[in-house]
Structure 1
Amino acid sequence: MLYVIGMGPGNKDNMTYRAYEALKNADVVVGYKTYIQLVKEILPEVKVTENTGMKKEIERCQLAIDLAMEGKEVALVSSGDAGIYGMAGLIYQLAEGKMNISEIEIIPGVSASSSCASILGAPLMHDFATISLSDLLTEWDLIKERLHCAGKGDFVIALYNPKSFGRTTQIEEARDILLQYKPGDTVVGIVRNSGREDESKEITTLKDMCDCEINMTSTVIIGNEMTYAKDNMMITPRGYLV
């Protein structure tokens, strides 16, 4: 069996029991080196691990498939949910013609949008969109079109991969696009290092959000026209109280 596991934010408290059991029973755990280290902290008894570096997603998935075809019980780990910007789709693509699909099991995890929303309060109580600002796999023009559509529809918007050392202007462009549809005082929440020791959050506004600390470990949640802030929390009414 090949288990594709979403680890959630990266600590045991926020990992599902199903994910924990699959990791504990695996013969081999495969993943990006940072996630492998998290697995070792949660399950020190894990004996056999295979780690690969950044931008080695294809090699990582191929390794997991090869090990499973050798008869091993393999756990391939992703942060968050493996089916949301994770390895689930790539595994199915690479396994076609090699493995029986019934030998692959996707184990969901707590996504960044869910974990960060809980830290901020209740910002995702109405329709929302998740958009990654990383243009490594998606053309920037297409990402901008999606930002326009989400802004026009007044969705609450969760921005993944908002900024990195090599990508510093996309978050500013995203803000400028959304300011065409949302007021400058729209409530925005920023969570850094969700579920980890140095976790922090900040409530700000759409016009001021780029003045805040934002990096690759951040998730930015932008409210809709009904979202408000109270006691350093971000709340989007669902409409139960009229």
Structure 2
Amino acid sequence: MSNGKIYVVGIGPGKKENMTFRAYEAMENSDIIVGYKTYVDLVKEYYPGKEMKSSAMTKEVDRCTEVLELARQGKTVSLISSGDAGVYGMAGIMLEIADEDMEVEVIPGITATNAAAAIAGAPIMHDYATISLSDLLTDWELIKKRLELAAQGDFVVSIYNPKSRGRVTQIEEAREIMMKYKPKSTPVAIVRNAGREDERYVLTTLDEMLNHEIDMLTIVLIGNSNTFVKNGKIITPRGYEGKYDY
């Protein structure tokens, strides 16, 4: 039997209006959609009658193995991730384990940082770093080093996976590292469920950020030395004001 095809699809935040045309069409043209249960639940209403397979968190390798076997049987399969599949998603694993003759196409999506930034205003108009605080696959000492260097370099920092039930001190340590190089008044956006139901956000400061709800559904955007708030929106200027009159 000839091989099928694998799409590794970034579905964006989850709502249809935040999906790319390519992402929607890839899933439409697939025989089966496979993903983490939460992500499958986000898209299943748009594909009634489509075969879906879901599994729990930490089963990423098992999902990729299952997708590969389905494709070997001649199926066209969409393996989905929230945001962009190449940003803390499934693209890397799938490409690592795929057969040499298996066609794998990665479909980009709107990242959690992009979605959160648009809600908060324009906080990532200049150089920024995305750093996950999850130490499940990355040593915490290395994560702290990355936080240190990003703060020292005056990057805007987008923090993924900031806090979970079993991991509560990392966001406190991250804030301490940021405060070594950034003023206490640095604007911070805390965005929860960006682009999904129950979306909400709060604008605060580095000094006050831990007084607000932060969990695994949250993106924390920490500004740089030039970031400011205007009309309830965070702005990180690119530098136009120094060259043009407006």
Normalising by the smaller structure, the TM-score range is: over 0.9
Partner Cα separation in structure 2 for residue 43 and residue 11 of structure 1: 13
Specify the alignment match of 2:26 in structure 1: 22
Superposed displacement of residue 24, structure 1: 0.8
Aligned residue number for residue 54 of structure 2 = 51
Equivalent position of 1:199 in the other structure: 199
Aligned twin of 1:100: 101
Where 2:71 maps in the other structure, the secondary structure is helix
Give the alignment of 1:88-237 within 5 angstroms. 88-95=91-98, 98-100=99-101, 103-237=103-237
The amino acid that maps onto 1:7 is I
Q: Which residue of 2 aligns with 1:67?
A: 70
TM-score, length-normalised on structure 2?
0.95
What is the alpha-carbon distance in structure 2 between the residues aligned to residue 174 and residue 42 of structure 1? 39
1:29-49 Cα distance to aligned partner (Å, 9 max, x none):
110111111121222232x11
Tell me, in whole angstroms, the C-alpha distance in 2 between the residues paired with 1:216 and 1:82.
18
Instruction: Report the RMSD for the aligned CA atoms in angstroms.
Output: 0.8
Deviations 1:93-139 (A, max 9, x none): 111xx2425x0000000000001000000000000000000000000
CA distance in 2, matches of 1:71, 1:173: 49
For the 8 Å contact 1:11–1:42, the answer to whether it is kept is no
Residues 1:2 and 2:6 aligned together: yes
Could you list the runs of 4 or more consecutive aligned residues of structure 1 that deviate by over 3 angstroms after TM superposition? none
Amino acid across the alignment from 2:39: Y
Query: Which residue identity does 1:34 align to in structure 2?
Result: T
Do 1:132 and 1:160's aligned partners in 2 also have CA atoms closer than 8 Å?
yes
Residue 41 (structure 1) aligned to one of 37, 40, 45: 45
- What amino acid is aligned across from residue 204 of structure 1 in structure 2? T
Give the corresponding residue for 1:241. 241
Residue type at the aligned position of 1:50: K
Separation of aligned partners in 1, 2:214 and 2:46: 28
Aligned-partner residue type, residue 72 of structure 1: K
Unpaired stretches in structure 2, ≥5 consecutive residues:
none
Displacement of 1:57 after TM fit?
Answer: 0.5
Query: The residue matched to 1:106 in structure 2 has which SS?
Result: strand
AA in 1 matched with 2:230: K
Q: SS state of the match for residue 66, structure 1?
A: helix
